Each structure stands twice: as C-alpha cells, then as structure tokens.
Amino acid sequence: MFNLKGPALTVTIAAAAILMVTMGARQSLGLFVSPLNSSTGLGIATISFALAVGQFTWGAAQPIAGALADKYGPARVVVAGLIILAIGTALTPFMHSGFGLIVSLGLLSAIGSGAGSFSVLIGAAAQKLTPIERGKAAGIINAGGSFGQFVFAPISQGLISALGWAGALWTLAVTTLFAMPLVRKVAPAGPPPPKPAAHEALWPTVKNAFGDRSYILLHLGFFTCGFHIAFLVTHLPQEVNLCGLPPTVASWSLAIIGLANIAGSLFAGSSTAKYRSKHILALMYGSRAVLIAWYLVAPKTALTFYIFAVGLGFTWLATVPPTASIVGKLFGVRYLATLFGLTLLSHQIGGFLGAYLGGIAYEQAGNYQWMWYADMALAAAAAVVNLPIREAPVVAPSASAA
C-alpha cells in the first residue's frame, strides 16, 4: 500500500485501525444532540457547550499525551486513552445536567480519544519509518479515522433507532475496547526512548518551535480547520432538521464526509512527497471557502447535502498529513507527537469556538447563517496564511547557546 511493506505497513495499518475506533466514536456525537435534548430538556446551547468543551479538551490532551508518549513510549498512553474513552461514553446516559455532560463528554471521552489519536499514533509510527514513508503513512493513518466516521455514523444512527440513545452510547463504549489488542502492533514492548542531550530535551525544543514564524502560521491555519470540523460535526444534524429533511440525511452526510476523506487523506499523504505541503494546505482551505459559498446559494435538498459532504469531506481531515509533514520537516520526529499535538491544540481551540458559537447562533437567531459566513471567511484567511510557511528544517540551538 503506497509502497509501504513489512513492519512499516503493519504499524501503519494498526495505527489506522485504532484511529478508526477513537475518531469514529467521537465524530458521531453530533447525532446524539437532538435525542439528548429531547430526553433531558437541557437545551441545544447547553449540550453544545459540553461538546465544545470536549473539542478543546481533546486538543489539550494531544500535546500532553504526546509528551508522555515521547518520554515513556506510546503503548501505555493509548491503552489508558481507550479505557477512559469507554468510561466517559458509558457514563453519559447517567448525566442529567450540563455539568454532568461536561464531565462525561467534555472531559473523560475527550481525554480518552485524544490519548489515542493523531499526535500519539502518527508520532509512534514516524519513529519506525523513513522520511519518504512518513507522509504516506500519515495519510493512511488519517484515512483510518475517516473510515471510522464513515462506519460509525450510520451505525450510531441505527443504534439510536434500535436501542435508544443510551443503548447506542453503551454499545459504542464497549466497541472502543476492541482496539486494545492493536496497541502492541503500533508500539511493541521495549525500553523507553533514550534520554536526550540537554539542548535536545523536550522543553528547549518546544521553545525553539514557538520562536519559529512558520510553526505559528501553521497553528493559525489549523485553528480554522478545527472551527470548520467542530461546527459541522456538532450542528450538521440540526442544520438538516432546519431544512425539513429526515435525520438519515445527516447521518449519511457525516458518513459520506468520512468516506470522501479517505480518498482525500490518501491523496494528501502521497502528495507530500511530490508537492510542498503548504501549497496543499492552501488549496484545501481555499476550496472550503468556495464550497461553503456554493452551499449557501444551493437548494437545500438531500442531494445538496450529499454533494457538500463529498466536497468538504475530501479535505475534512486531509489537512493532517501535510501539517504533520511540515512539523516533521521543521523539527524532526523525536518530539513529533508533542509538537504536532500542540498544533492539534490550536485546531481544537478553533473546534471549541465552532461547536459552542454554533449553539449560540442557533438559539439567538434560529439558524446558522452567520456561522456559515464566518466559516467561509476563516477558510479564505487560512489559505492565505499558509503560503509564507517555509519547509526547510529549523536548526536547533547548540548546547553552548542553550
């Protein structure tokens, strides 16, 4: 697969399968907003806030989980994440207040899925791959997360119909534990990474990264990506409802987004070996602005949502491989899990705002019109800020300069 063979292929496929479970369960939560609201009467804004906290927590967990994985190895981090994700998901039906939902969905589930997500998995795989293989592997791993959304969205909707929303969440909780046997394929048992020299330690490396203009610009673009994704994954079902269409249109739209992103992720991963990653990112963000503009003037039919899902899905999380590639080019792979985790934190700060402001907009105006305008403007801005990024390696400070 994309010229990956032997151990490189094994670790890549195992990481993709784990991400399929953690991202599939997480990206289907928007389907539970309406049933949760009907059952608890908490209101869309309250539920959106809990999910928005989850967006931020998931991002905040990434650099912490990455730092732990860089120091102690990724196996324990991923196993702990899967267990915490299962616990948070299983506890949600017992929560009947906004605070309770923040604990279960906003904290536990988000911390768990964050510990078993991009930064740790891509970082773990990168340690065992050549520079040429890393971009391709990141695309395949990322595609695993998208495939999880394709699989989990219609399954979750079916479980909600068959078992109720509580039964569906309990089923998802059990399902997450099935990924645990794959952890040893990604991170075989072995000694922790060797202790680095003083000037190559974690925090000097992080300080060096934040002094680099390209790394900051990368964060700004990725912030916009998080805003888009969290807004849509949280509020697309309600947007479909506003248009008078059945819930199945929302679940299948989310599934199509995931399916299209498989192709987009594989394309992005393979393209990093041929083109500059910053140009790939600029093209992706720019295409989102155009697509949202089309959606706003298009008739709101099921076909429109499916076309929108295909177009948006192609770039949905396909931004991850070129973003991770730039971080690796700038700073190497020793602390890739931490440094890429920090870019994911920026992504999820945007995600917090996308999810929460979407709920506020709905309760204030009864629709998402201004959120769509904001989404379009941010996409255009993200396309521009990626262009000045340079992809040459950054020289770490010498021991004498540290």
Contact of 70 with 335, CB cutoff 8 Å = yes
User: Residues 67, 55: contact at Cβ < 8 Å?
Assistant: no
Residue with tokens 């399916």: 259
Torsion of CA 222, 355, 103, 348, to 10 degrees: 0
Which pLDDT score is estimated for 256? Answer: 87
d(CA 364, CA 208): 43
Between CA 402 and CA 339 the distance in angstroms is 19
Angstrom distance (rounded) from CA 265 to CA 273 = 13
pLDDT number for residue 139: 81
Chain center to CA of 123: 15
pTM for this model (two decimals): 0.73
Q: Which residues contact 360 (CB under 8 A, 6 or more apart)?
A: 45, 48
pLDDT tens, the chain, 402 aa long = 456 666 777 888 888 899 999 888 887 887 888 888 888 888 888 888 888 888 788 888 888 888 888 778 888 899 999 999 999 999 999 988 889 999 999 999 999 988 888 778 877 787 777 766 777 787 888 888 878 877 888 888 889 989 998 999 999 999 999 888 888 887 765 555 555 555 567 778 888 888 889 999 999 999 998 898 888 878 888 899 899 998 889 888 888 887 888 888 888 878 887 888 899 999 999 999 999 999 999 999 999 999 999 998 898 878 888 888 888 888 877 777 788 888 888 888 888 888 888 888 888 888 899 999 999 999 999 999 999 998 765 444 443 333
Residue type, 104: S
Tokens of 146: 């998208």
